[in-house]
């Protein structure tokens, strides 16, 4: 048996040697064909990547006829990348394989991403690649015959290049190095320097409209196609990168926060209520769209809580995804617009102790907790949020089978049942002597929405889950009524749900970049089991990041000069969100304060003891 294996292995080596010898001969024998293969490859791979997006060749040809200049840009960009790879690796099959893999991998990722949540892929999304195990639970991944055929065609072309073995001569080392340098410089200029890429984009008639919301971004994709969209949005992202404001200085911060305030504790006679902030994943009220005819029965629990407390509309900084935008605003009391509205604001934070609102509660004598029934590694929450002032963080990881929950964990659909969250909140309050501040970000209502009587009825399945949340919410609030501790609850959904791209209810409603503001309006309620004073809650709409200050006013917490300043901003700039209204001018004050507290030197009044803050800066 061993001799047979050895013989087969030797035969394989002999075949490989002879085949490689043939390939070497092909390099010289078929020079003209090899030149043709290398010339047409950039055109071929662009067409295959784009056809994969359009799903059918006819749709791609229609786009090519309507937007030939955009397609020409894609061909030239692909040629530049291919030339760079050829200059680096010399061998055509290596350059072709790498280029093919990258383009098709991006194309397939885009296909699945848009099919999952109706948002298109941008390069900054690649930061989530290390969380691919988590993302698999979100995505609708459907391997179609067309997708298989397109991949096989690309693989066949790669094999063709491997067989005929085009390559650059060894003696042209200096020319190759020069080619690498020139291609690299052009590629960098296409992303970094507006004076270079602006006339290029204009010449090829790319859509460079500033996309201030997800729907405008999707419309830009339709105009630019997949590859040009990736390049143009990469340029836009770099141009909008966070930099230190020109007027950032201690003098300016002192001017903004120059206020005499009484920081003595009062809390309505000294009684500190528990504060529970519930940010409900993908919870939204679709009754705002009359044409859908959504029954009130799905929202009975929510409506009852609104009637017993105080309700209104808050403006979320995101739609369909990027929960951490909403979470950042609720945790910090700062606008993501002050950080240029990044998709993942937690990646912008300085690596030090952060003045999130949990730090205020700790300074007021509260115990603090963060509860999230998902992996702590997703969005790097365990690492990043450990600087936010939470005494305890509770996560649940289905993939690794690890949980911090101290109550039985049940699931509803794909994720942890909201009732488990409510039970955990009650457990924390009941087992802690001090008053508690708890922030929870739920998961139950996260996509996919293909679980139900009809897997294709996304909105119907979604509403069943929302109804389940509301039933649990009613039971939770009833339990709080029996609690012998004053407790304030704030409840809001982080954003409208992600629904499939082409077949979603949003398309049925003809939502566009011009009429999508409703999808950034989230109904909320404040509720208490005691006679809380809700007179400080604005009647008008306001951005998520003002919620912590409104809560501080409701519970009559002490104010420092920073909180006083934000209370004034609530009156003068109640909504500060690019996605909701890009017509709102930049607010220098809010931008500088946001930069100072999460990226800068924290020169504004801060609840973190100075020695702890300075020590954490030293560790950075």
pLDDT at 455: 81
pLDDT band at 134, cuts 50/70/90? low
Whether 235 and 289 map to the same domain: the answer is: no
Kindly report whether the peptide bond that precedes residue 448 is cis, defined as omega within 30 degrees of 0.
Answer: yes
Whether 46 and 115 map to the same domain: the answer is: yes
Whether 176 and 63 map to the same domain: the answer is: yes
Per the domain annotation, does 230 fall within a domain?
yes
Reply yes or no on whether the pLDDT at 307 is more than 90.
yes
Answer yes or no: are the C-beta atoms of 445 and 281 closer than 8 Å: yes
CA gap 134, 443 in Å, rounded = 12
Whether 452 and 519 map to the same domain: the answer is: yes
pLDDT band at 610, cuts 50/70/90? confident
25-34 average pLDDT score? 91
Reply yes or no on whether the pLDDT at 446 is more than 90.
yes
Whether 288 and 347 map to the same domain: the answer is: yes
Whether 310 and 187 map to the same domain: the answer is: no
384-408 average pLDDT score? 94
For residue 449, list its beta bridge partners.
Answer: none
pLDDT at 183: 94
pLDDT at 137: 57
Per the domain annotation, does 395 fall within a domain?
yes
Whether 356 and 226 map to the same domain: the answer is: no
Per the domain annotation, does 7 fall within a domain?
no
Q: Is 354 helix (H, G, I), strand (E, B) or coil?
A: coil
pLDDT at 128: 59
- Backbone region of residue 497 per phi and psi (left: phi > 0; alpha: psi in -120 to 50; beta: other values): beta
Whether 508 and 395 map to the same domain: the answer is: yes
pLDDT band at 131, cuts 50/70/90? low
Per the domain annotation, does 265 fall within a domain?
no
- What is the percentage of the chain residues whose pLDDT exceeds 90? 72
pLDDT at 19: 85
pLDDT in tens, 566-578: 999 999 999 999 9
pLDDT in tens, 144-190: 899 999 999 999 999 999 999 998 887 677 888 899 999 999 999 99
Whether 144 and 54 map to the same domain: the answer is: yes
Domain final position from 212, 239, 266:
239
Reply yes or no on whether the pLDDT at 132 is more than 70.
no
pLDDT at 103: 95
pLDDT at 15: 84
Supply the range of the domain harboring residue 122: 14-239
pLDDT in tens, 89-130: 999 999 999 999 999 999 998 888 887 777 788 877 766 555
Average pLDDT, the chain: 91
Long-range pairs for 394-397 at CB < 8 Å and ≥24 separation? 394/369, 394/370, 394/424, 396/372
Answer yes or no: are the C-beta atoms of 366 and 272 closer than 8 Å: yes
| Greater pLDDT, 388 or 212 | 388
CA gap 46, 71 in Å, rounded = 8
Whether 181 and 232 map to the same domain: the answer is: yes
Per the domain annotation, does 107 fall within a domain?
yes
The total domain count for the chain is 2
510-518 average pLDDT score? 91
pLDDT at 113: 81
286-313 average pLDDT score? 96
pLDDT at 139: 58
pLDDT in tens, 452-502: 778 888 899 999 999 999 999 999 999 999 999 999 999 999 999 988 756
pLDDT at 462: 94
For 496, which DSSP code? P
Residue 372 dihedral angles phi and psi, to the nearest 5°: -150, 115
Domain final position from 224, 239, 254:
239
Answer yes or no: are the C-beta atoms of 293 and 301 closer than 8 Å: no
CB atoms within 10 A of CB 434: 12
- What is the percentage of the chain residues whose pLDDT exceeds 70? 95
Whether 372 and 293 map to the same domain: the answer is: yes
Whether 286 and 361 map to the same domain: the answer is: yes
Q: pTM of the full predicted structure?
A: 0.90
CA gap 592, 37 in Å, rounded = 54
User: Domain holding 490: CATH number?
Assistant: 3.40.720.10
Q: Which residues contact 17 (CB under 8 A, 6 or more apart)?
A: none
Per the domain annotation, does 584 fall within a domain?
yes
pLDDT at 213: 87
Per the domain annotation, does 196 fall within a domain?
yes
pLDDT at 420: 98
pLDDT at 502: 61
- For 466-583, strand residue ranges (E) read 487-493, 521-528, 542-543
Per the domain annotation, does 247 fall within a domain?
no
């Amino acid at each position: 048996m061993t001799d047979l294996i050895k013989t087969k292995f030797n035969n394989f080596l002999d075949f490989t040697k002879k085949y490689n010898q043939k390939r070497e001969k092909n390099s010289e024998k078929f020079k003209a064909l090899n030149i043709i293969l290398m010339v047409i490859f950039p055109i071929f791979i662009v067409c295959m990547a784009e056809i994969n997006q359009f799903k059918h060749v006819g749709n791609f040809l229609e786009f090519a006829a309507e937007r030939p200049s955009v397609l020409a840009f894609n061909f030239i960009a692909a040629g530049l990348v291919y030339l760079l790879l050829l200059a680096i690796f010399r061998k055509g099959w290596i350059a072709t394989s790498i280029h093919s893999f990258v383009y098709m991998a991006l194309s397939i990722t885009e296909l699945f991403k848009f099919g999952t949540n109706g948002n298109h892929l941008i390069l900054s999304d690649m930061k989530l690649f290390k969380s691919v195990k988590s993302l698999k639970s979100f995505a609708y991944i459907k391997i179609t015959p067309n997708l298989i055929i397109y991949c096989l065609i690309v693989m066949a072309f790669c094999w063709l290049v491997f067989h005929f073995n085009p390559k650059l001569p060894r003696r042209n080392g200096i020319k190759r190095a020069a080619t690498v340098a020139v291609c690299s410089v052009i590629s960098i200029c296409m992303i970094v320097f507006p004076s270079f890429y602006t006339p290029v984009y204009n010449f090829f008639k790319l859509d460079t409209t500033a996309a201030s919301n997800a729907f405008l971004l999707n419309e830009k994709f339709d105009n630019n196609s997949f590859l040009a969209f990736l390049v143009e949005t990469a340029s836009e992202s770099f141009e909008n990168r966070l930099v230190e404001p020109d007027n950032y200085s201690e003098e300016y911060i002192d001017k903004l926060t120059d206020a005499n305030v009484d920081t003595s504790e009062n809390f309505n006679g000294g009684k500190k209520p528990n504060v529970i902030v519930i940010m409900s994943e993908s919870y939204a009220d679709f009754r705002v769209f009359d044409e859908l005819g959504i029954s009130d029965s799905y929202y009975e629990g929510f409506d009852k809580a609104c009637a017993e407390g105080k309700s209104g509309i808050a403006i979320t900084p995101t739609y369909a995804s990027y929960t951490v935008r909403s979470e950042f605003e609720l945790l910090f009391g700062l606008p993501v617009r002050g950080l240029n509205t990044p998709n993942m604001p937690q990646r912008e934070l300085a690596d030090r102790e952060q003045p999130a609102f949990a730090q205020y509660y700790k300074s007021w004598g509260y115990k603090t907790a963060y509860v999230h029934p998902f992996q702590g590694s997703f969005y790097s929450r365990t690492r990043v949020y450990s600087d936010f002032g939470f005494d305890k963080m509770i996560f649940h990881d289905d993939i690794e089978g690890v949980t911090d929950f101290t109550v039985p964990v049940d699931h509803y659909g794909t994720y942890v049942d909201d009732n488990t969250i409510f039970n955990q909140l009650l457990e924390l309050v009941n087992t802690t002597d001090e008053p508690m501040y708890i922030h929870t970000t739920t998961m139950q209502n996260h996509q996919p929405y293909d679980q139900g009587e009809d897997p294709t009825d996304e909105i119907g399945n979604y509403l069943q889950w929302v109804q389940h949340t509301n039933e649990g919410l009613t039971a939770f609030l009833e339990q709080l009524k029996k609690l012998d501790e004053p407790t304030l609850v704030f409840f809001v959904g982080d954003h409208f749900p992600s629904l499939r791209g082409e077949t979603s209810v949003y398309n049925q409603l003809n939502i566009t970049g011009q009429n999508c503001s409703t999808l950034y309006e989230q109904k909320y309620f404040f509720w208490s089991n005691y006679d809380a004073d809700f007179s400080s809650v604005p009647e008008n709409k306001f951005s998520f990041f003002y919620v912590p200050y409104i809560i501080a006013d409701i519970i009559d917490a002490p104010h420092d000069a920073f909180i006083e300043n934000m209370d004034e901003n609530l009156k003068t700039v109640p909504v500060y969100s690019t996605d909701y209204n890009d017509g709102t001018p930049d607010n220098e004050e809010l931008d500088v304060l946001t930069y100072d507290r999460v990226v800068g030197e924290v020169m504004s009044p801060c609840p973190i003891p100075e020695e702890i803050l300075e020590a954490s800066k030293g560790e950075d």
